[in-house]
Amino acid sequence: MNITIKVWRQKSNTSPGEFKMYSLSDVSPDMSFLEMFDVLNEQLVRKGEDPVAFDHDCREGICGMCSMVINGQPHGPLRGVTTCQLHMRSFNDGDTIVVEPWRAAAFPVLKDLIVDRTGFDRIMSTGGFVSVNTGNAQDANTLLVPKPDADEAFGAAACIGCGACVAACKNASAMLFVAAKVSQLALLPQGKVEAKSRAERMVAQMDDEGFGNCTNTYACEAECPKEISVEHIARMNREYLKAKLG
């Protein structure tokens, strides 16, 4: 395959950015999208140019770091996959592929395709946890959890915090991310003790970080690589309302 990459280049969060065009030949359709970028960066380094900076770690769809907007879609054209799970066979010979970072005021660009997502960490630090007494672990059957609740909590816990929901939303809302984390704990007995403070604090921190309001267009669910349901947003709203009403 011969392809052209139109990629966003930005030296720092204080410098202006621009798109740069690069051509690649003999690209294997079996390459992952990140492997294609590895090849591009090897070529740039050999030419004495600065390689394209992008986040990556596990390359197995687990860490959520490989955040790229590809042809206008977070993580690319396939549903239920991260960028690292996207392969070049999803594109055609001769294609021009446009690659950008997440676009959100709460996710400022640090360099090229890398954005600052520490806002998510600060949201989690306000309530995305349970406080328990240390000591021996309880027997597995001492805390009974209904199977439907356990399954739904597990589904919410699948959120990897990549931020695709923010990138997909026209208001750059983090509602799906926060809702998944609130919902995960709200469904389990261990999360009931701090439920009130959790909902209030995490929503307040989300607002403080500058994320927008939910648009109800379901773009977040459509682009989420773990296909987290927007039903969790409804649960978070209920948890928040219960907290406010005392």
Categorize the per-residue pLDDT at 170 as very low, low, confident or very high, splitting at 50, 70 and 90. Answer: very high
pLDDT, tens digit (0-9, with 9 covering 90-100), for 83-124: 999 999 999 999 999 999 999 999 999 999 999 999 999 999
pLDDT per position as a tens digit, 128-152 = 988 877 777 777 778 888 999 999 9
CB atoms within 10 A of CB 49: 12
Is residue 246 classed exposed, middle or buried when 0-12, 13-18 and 19+ CB atoms within 10 A define those classes? exposed
State whether 122 and 240 are in the same domain: yes
Q: Looking at the whole model, is its pTM more than 0.75? A: yes
Q: Are residues 220 and 171 in the same domain?
A: yes
Does residue 168 surpass a pLDDT of 90?
Answer: yes
- Residue 211 belongs to domain with CATH number: 1.10.1060.10
Tell me how far apart the 2 most distant CA atoms of the chain are, in Å. Answer: 63
Q: Clarify whether residues 174 and 236 are in a common domain.
A: yes
My answer on whether 97 and 178 are in the same domain is no
Q: SS3 string of 109-155? A: EEECCEECCHHHHHHHHHHCCCCCCCCCCCCCCCCCCCHHHHHHHHH
Cα(205)–Cα(75) distance, rounded to whole angstroms?
Answer: 26
Of 43, 78, 110, which marks where a domain is finished?
110
Q: What is the pLDDT of residue 17?
A: 95
Tokens 């977070």 identify what position? 74
pLDDT at 219: 96
Backbone torsion region of residue 196, taken as left when φ is above 0, otherwise alpha when ψ lies between -120 and 50, otherwise beta: alpha
Which CATH number goes with the domain that contains 73?
3.10.20.30
146/65 same-domain check: no
Beta strands in 29-117 (DSSP E): 69-70, 73-74, 96-100, 109-111, 114-115
Same domain for 80 and 132, yes or no, is: no
Residue 142, pLDDT score: 81
139 and 217 together in one domain = yes
Judgement on whether residues 169 and 95 belong to the same structural domain of the protein: no
Do 62 and 140 belong together in one domain?
no
pLDDT at residue number 211:
97
Same domain? For 33 and 130 the reply is no
User: 168 and 228 share a domain?
Assistant: yes
Do 235 and 136 lie in one domain? The reply is yes
Residue at a domain's end among 94, 110, 126: 110
Helix (H) or strand (E) holding 22: strand 18-24
Domain count, the chain: 2
Mean pLDDT of 195-203: 93
List the domain range (segments joined by +) for residue 150. Answer: 118-245
Q: 110, 137, 169: which is the final residue of a domain? A: 110
